[in-house]
Chain A
Amino acid sequence: MSPMIELRNVRKTFNKTIHAVAGVDLEVAEGEVVVIVGPSGSGKSTVLRCINLLEVPTSGDVIVDGKSLMDASTDLDEARAEMGMVFQGFNLFPHLTVLENITLAQKKVRGRDSAEAGRIAHEQLARVGIPEKADSYPRQLSGGQQQRVAIARSLAMNPKIMLFDEPTSALDPEMIKEVLDVIVELAATGMTMVVVTHEMGFARAAADRLVFIDEGVIVETGPPEDVFTNPQNERTKAFFDKILAY
């Protein structure tokens, strides 16, 4: 079976000199949960953002669900609707209520009527554990609650893929668990997911495969337990020595 996501020799260069991504090949099978780790500035977020073309690769190809997104004839909006994305900074729409945040794209992109979009929004809010916040504004919520709304907003589109870009990095420590719980639960449902994170405990618990990126290339990849305990590459070893020390 062909992979759900395929990156082929993807490169991304900023200002012609900074090679953020220097040739990445990555395949993600349907239902697979891939966790990307690496030092800051290693290009891991850029790799993730290349998957839904929020960053357009300088060269290489991105194939999602059998369609090349680099092909100008592919409808990007349509492709993106199939890929939920959760950001480090939540990026909820501050002028809309939680409910409106979740129904907007359902109505505009999926063509659902208000009643149906609202019903689905309430379902998703219940799923992420904050059914009572539908009429709140984002500012009235804690960071953890905001991030869960962002997840609900993506899930309401019934995506085939979920992308997470450091979803807990902007959260206070006591809120990290409530968000990771939702993501772990989601992983268990068979959703195809790519997660960039610094949460090694989460990687261990949820990942089918761990990918270690440094200086814009994939240095090592494998089952999380193997990569953690028995890294083959010196750079991987040095990284885990530092972050797993405590």
Chain B
Amino acid sequence: MTGSPDLQSAGKHRGEGSLLPYGKVRSESEPAWKGQPYWAYIVALVILLMGLKVFLDADYDLARKNIFPGIWITIRSTFIAFGLALVISLIAGLGQISNNVVARNLSRAFIELIRGIPVLPLIFVLALVIIPDISKAAGAPNSVPNDLRAILALALIYGAYMAEIIRGGVQSIPRGQMEAGRSLGLSSGETMRSIIFPQAARAIIPPMANDFIAILKDTSLLSVLGVLEITRRTRQYSASSFKFPEAFFTMTFVYLVLVIGLSILLSMFERRFTRDRVGER
């Protein structure tokens, strides 16, 4: 860094007998130091300091030992829930814009019902009432293990949210694209696959990535159903040891690392799939 470039050049101009009589010239280009991602440095520093505390402080040894095994459960729950939600959202999202009256109305009803109830009560009722009732009605009571019921509940909820993303993405493509495909003799399914989806992906992927991260955060709600993920383990450990500060600080650190890590992964993926190819819209 050699200091403020506009000051320098202005000085030079003056020295060379510039026509501009000013000491400092308004410049369109910002000096390089202003464009640095300081926010990222701050976040990295906070994570580093938290990590030093969690890993080096002897008071945190037991907290780490008790809470860290939940990391795997949290990650696994997140990926399974997102995978299932993706399938549900495709069905409900495309169902909403299908020509089939039954599919359209069932999808719409499912989405409106789910979106009409807060997440936590819905997790309770899905995992403890509806899914057990369905398995009972199917003649296999208690056939779905507790953890899976909890994950299924989360998947159904996010499936409904993500269905709106799919619908919005597909509807953002101008009607002429479908017409052009159909008038070339492509079937509607083929037009969807080859023409509509590849373009809709650009609109779908960023909010989907957002919901992926939201699912990771909301796995903490599964703690109320006894799933031994990070939050559940934190509460168990803190309640039995009375080491509340150590437990909650460790939990926060773990979530922060997981969420930031997933964000970085997803933004790399996003850039790959939504970058502007030459000349493309």
**What is the interface of chain A, defined by CB distance below 8 A to chain B?**
52, 54, 77-78, 80-85, 87, 89, 91-95, 104-105, 108-109, 136-140, 150, 153-154, 157
Contact = CB atoms under 8 A, between A and B. Distances in A.
B278 interface: yes
Contacts of B277: 95, 137
Given A95-B280, A137-B280, A87 B179 contact: yes
B281 interface: yes
Contact of A157 (B184, B187, B199): B184
B199 A91 contact: no
Interface residues of B, number: 22
B261 interface: no
A52 B184 contact: no
Interface in B72-109: none
B177 A136 contact: no
Interface stretch (B136-144, B159-167, B190-198, B242-250): B190-198
B185 A80 contact: yes
A54 B278 contact: no
B176 interface: yes
B177 A108 contact: no
A81 B187 CA distance: 10
A95 B199 contact: yes
Contacts of B177: 91, 93
Nearest to B188: A77
Contact of B183 (A83, A137, A138): A83
Contacts of A52: 183
Interface string B179-215: 1111111110010001100110000000000000000
Nearest to B175: A91
Given A109-B185, A137-B279, 14 more contacts: A77-B182, A80-B184, A81-B184, A91-B174, A94-B199, A104-B184, A104-B186, A108-B186, A109-B184, A136-B279, A139-B279, A140-B278, A153-B184, A157-B184
Nearest to B201: A95
Nearest to A141: B279
23 contacts: A77-B182, A77-B185, A77-B187, A82-B185, A85-B183, A89-B174, A91-B174, A91-B180, A93-B181, A94-B199, A95-B280, A104-B184, A105-B181, A105-B185, A108-B190, A136-B279, A137-B277, A137-B278, A137-B279, A137-B280, A138-B279, A153-B184, A154-B184
Contacts of A83: 183
Contacts, number: 77
A157 B185 contact: yes
Contacts of A105: 181, 184-186
A81 B278 contact: no
Contact of B185 (A54, A81, A87): A81
A87 B180 contact: yes
Contacts of B185: 77-78, 80-82, 105, 109, 157
Q: Which 3 A-B pairs have the closest CB atoms?
A: A81-B185, A137-B279, A105-B184
Contacts of A77: 182, 185-187
Interface string B228-269: 000000000000000000000000000000000000000000
Contacts of B190: 108
B177 to A, nearest CB: 6
A87 B176 contact: yes
Of B180, B181, B198, B279, which is in contact with the most chain A CB atoms at under 10 Å from its CB?
Answer: B180
Contacts of B187: 77
A91 B181 CA distance: 9
Of B184, B190, B194, B277, which is in contact with the most chain A CB atoms at under 10 Å from its CB?
Answer: B184
A108 B194 CA distance: 10
A105 B190 CA distance: 10
B179 A91 contact: yes
B32 to A, nearest CB: 32
Of A54, A83, A140, which is in contact with the most chain B CB atoms at under 10 Å from its CB?
Answer: A54
A105 B180 CA distance: 10
Given A89-B176, A140-B278, A80 B194 contact: no
Nearest to B193: A108
Contact of A94 (B181, B278, B280): B280
Nearest to A140: B279
A106 B258 CA distance: 47
A87 B183 CA distance: 10
Nearest to B195: A93
A216 B184 CA distance: 27
A204 B52 CA distance: 83
Of A78, A94, A137, A154, which is in contact with the most chain B CB atoms at under 10 Å from its CB?
Answer: A94
A55 to B, nearest CB: 10
Nearest to A110: B185
B184 A139 contact: no
A139 B281 CA distance: 7
